[in-house]
Amino acid sequence: MAIAYVIVGIICFVLIITIPFGVAAWRIAGYVLWPFGRTVEVRRNSGVASLIGNIIWIVLFGWWLALGHLLTGIAMCMTIIGIPLGLASFKIIPITLMPLGTRIVPVDDYRAGAGW
């Protein structure tokens, strides 16, 4: 799945107007590689531009990537060893659908801040 995010990021960087989507895709690629100990924090002051961008993202890339996480999560949960990775794949689906207006923070920072 991280490779899919990198490819989406490259496509977004080629199309100049979608560079913010590329940055978000590469940020999520790092989160996909190692989701443990980090969480997603929604920024409440992100504005209308993030909402419009998220709608465009869902139409272009988001639902394909979310479907990929759903299928890989189900496949990983078929074995006992893969259950933690499958649950982590399910945890990534919300940020896959709406990457703009969110940020990935360590769990300790999230608990210390307003999120906890």
List the one residue out of 92, 86, 102 whose CA is nearest residue 41: 102
Give residue 112's pLDDT: 58
Q: How far apart are CA 37 and CA 39, in angstroms?
A: 7
What single-letter DSSP state applies at residue 78?
T
Give residue 79's pLDDT: 93
Residues 6+ apart with CB under 8 A from 11: 18, 22
Which residues of the chain fall below pLDDT 70? Answer: 109-116
Give residue 36's pLDDT: 78
Give residue 26's pLDDT: 93
Q: How far apart are CA 44 and CA 36, in angstroms?
A: 24
Give residue 109's pLDDT: 67
Cα 95 vs. chain centroid, distance in angstroms? 4
Give residue 81's pLDDT: 94
